[in-house]
Chains A and B, each alone.
Chain A
Amino acid sequence: MQNRSQWGTRLGFLLAAMGSAIGLGNIWRFPATAYENGGGAFFVPYLFALLTAGIPLLIMEYTIGHKYRGSAPKSLGRVSKGFEWIGWWQVLISFVISTYYGAIIAWAIMYSYYSFGQVWGDDTTGFFTGDFLQMTDAGAFGGLVPTILIPLIIVWVLVLGILLAGVKKGIELANKIFIPLLAVLFLIIVIRAVTLPGAAEGLNEFFQPNWSEIMNGSVWVAAYGQIFFSLSIGFAIMITYSSYLSKKSDITNNAFITGFGNSSFELLAGIGVFGALGFMAQSTGQEFTEIVQGGVMLAFSVFPQIINEMPVMSGLFGFLFFASLTLAGLSSLISISETYVAGVQEKFNVSRTASVLIGGGIAAVISIAYASQGGLVLLDTVDYFINNYGVALAGLFEVVAVAWFARGLKDLQNHANSVSDIQLGGWWRFCLGFITPIVLGYMMLQNIRNEVTGEPYEGYPIEFLFNFGWIVALGAMMLGAVITIKRWPNRDLDYKRHSSVETSEDKEVAQ
């Protein structure tokens, strides 16, 4: 029986888990979400969501991976045979996300290079959508853009190389370099941003509490959504990563460190982004409401404008910002890709090399579509649907399946308590059994209501939204069910049999 890969150190696991959680959303999603949902007052629902859903869910996923020692499909299948498809569904969601994540990292690499000459000129939006992406009409693909395709190939060579090197020598080592480097780069950015003229006004906009918003239900949904999407929960990642922990590893405190580490970076990103936006508002005389944006346009349109306005070392500031995006993106892409590498390897009984080359190779080929002139519209559509009707729904199914159908929380609590420094009590089961399913369920209902009553997403053609939004999101769910039909090699889902084999092997080693 082949030994399962393991992290070399606890720090290695924590850096990899934080590297997965700290992604592009921390930098470009959190600051705008907080600003639009009550500013400083947003911290109340945000912290409540972190403590009642984010960290409890992390603990649940860590415990499932640690106890059942397999990829997400195998681990969830060992909780109950019927849940294997939820694992495959999550793995396929990660597969879809990995196809476009690489393209965004490729943009960030090019923008790191462009920063030194401020190649984007004065019309930063026009440069991004026109000269750089060469955008065509929504729904059309157009030709390939070499300035995106070449860095995209570099990204995939790097990521697949890291995955081929294995868990300890590849993923752990890469994160031990990427995450401390990212922390240092981002600290430099934040220090520079808050010392710019006008930064205090920007920070005031970010932290000024609007207490009337706190009674608004949508603000609470936004807080739970931010925590949920930011922590890499419901992606199959944390189950896979924790399955590489040694048997006596702590679970609960590791989840607290990961959760607070992710939020610490988000808060730092908010300070850096709003310090820089305050400077821009002052130097251009624009109102805050005009310049605050989230997502792709914050990074690739607003930030280049800020860089243009900077008095000294603007090129270096730009390079550091886009290098940070690249590092945050790479550490997340590695974790996203590891989910299907582990899943394919176990289910189809192939070597890790074959699994990386098959799974990663297919993802890399599909990602070329995002290097086309229609790449941004495709990315925006797939991202919207796979997050709202993939990640959130699969997360809801996972927690309901484990808490309600399998009634597995007590068993998982006992397992976590047997190895952890911090003991779990009834609060943990209450959060997962009631609060999390209710909030996630409400979120889903609200999304569906908006979809039915609102305009088509971003005004894109309905046929395009159907083909690349709904079909991709629902297709992941259905394909997950199809893969589940194939039998596991060596009766791998039989947890009791395998855990007894492992225990006897451990005893032989001890003798």
Chain B
Amino acid sequence: MTGSAIAMFVIGGVIIWGGLLGSVFYARKVAKTKK
């Protein structure tokens, strides 16, 4: 894979999978504080 392809894989992955994990962890954090 070329450097630019790897860069797009990393950027896309971080934003999309990071967005999912961030939203899930935030929901868990808020749920814990509410308890």
Contacts and interface: CB of A to CB of B under 8 A. Distances in A.
Interface in B1-35: 1-2, 4-9, 11-13, 15-17, 19-20, 23-24, 26-27, 30
A253 B26 contact: yes
A259 B4 CA distance: 26
Contact of A250 (B5, B12, B27): B27
A381 B22 CA distance: 40
Contacts of B19: 256, 259-260, 263
Contacts of A203: 1, 5, 9
Contact of B26 (A261, A267, A421): A421
B15 to A, nearest CB: 6
Interface in A256-279: 256-257, 259-261, 263-264, 267
B23 to A, nearest CB: 4
A163 B23 CA distance: 30
Given A207-B1, A264-B20, A47 B27 contact: no
A62 to B, nearest CB: 14
Given A47-B15, A260-B19, A267-B12, A209 B4 contact: yes
Interface in A195-253: 200, 203-204, 206-209, 250, 253
A10 B23 CA distance: 14
Nearest to A38: B8
Given A40-B4, A204-B2, A207-B1, A260 B20 contact: yes
Secondary structure call for the B interface: helix
A43 B1 contact: no
Contacts of B8: 39-41, 43, 207-209
A173 B13 CA distance: 30
| Most chain A Cβ neighbours within 10 Å, of B7, B9, B17 | B9
B16 A260 contact: yes
Contacts of B11: 43
A11 to B, nearest CB: 10
Contacts of B27: 10, 250, 253-254, 257, 421
B1 to A, nearest CB: 4
Contacts of B5: 39-40, 203-204, 206-209
A262 to B, nearest CB: 9
A207 B30 contact: no
A41 B12 CA distance: 10
Nearest to A271: B9
A263 B4 contact: no
Given A207-B5, A209-B4, A43 B12 contact: yes
Contact of B1 (A204, A253, A257, A260): A204
A52 to B, nearest CB: 14
A200 B5 CA distance: 10
Contacts of A260: 16-17, 19-20, 23
A421 B12 contact: no
A208 B3 CA distance: 9
Contacts of A47: 12, 15-16
Contacts of A209: 4-5, 8
A422 B16 CA distance: 18
Nearest to B30: A421
A200 B7 CA distance: 14
B3 to A, nearest CB: 10
B12 A40 contact: yes
Given A257-B24, A421-B27, A264 B17 contact: yes
A257 B30 CA distance: 14
Interface centre among B11, B23, B27 (most CB of A within 10 A): B23
Interface string A413-446: 0000000011000000000000000000000000
A421 B30 CA distance: 7
A7 to B, nearest CB: 15
A54 to B, nearest CB: 12
B1 A267 contact: no
Nearest to B15: A47
A135 B19 CA distance: 44
B16 A208 contact: no
Contact of A207 (B6, B16, B24, B26): B6
A251 to B, nearest CB: 12
Given A208-B5, A209-B4, A421-B30, A257 B12 contact: no
Q: Which of B2, B20, B24 has the most CB of A within 10 A?
A: B20
A152 B5 CA distance: 41
12 contacts: A39-B8, A40-B8, A204-B2, A207-B1, A208-B2, A254-B27, A260-B16, A263-B16, A264-B17, A267-B12, A267-B13, A421-B30
Interface of A: 10, 39-41, 43, 47, 200, 203-204, 206-209, 250, 253-254, 256-257, 259-261, 263-264, 267, 421-422
Given A257-B23, A267-B16, 13 more contacts: A47-B12, A47-B16, A200-B1, A204-B1, A250-B27, A253-B27, A253-B30, A256-B23, A257-B27, A260-B16, A260-B17, A261-B20, A264-B20
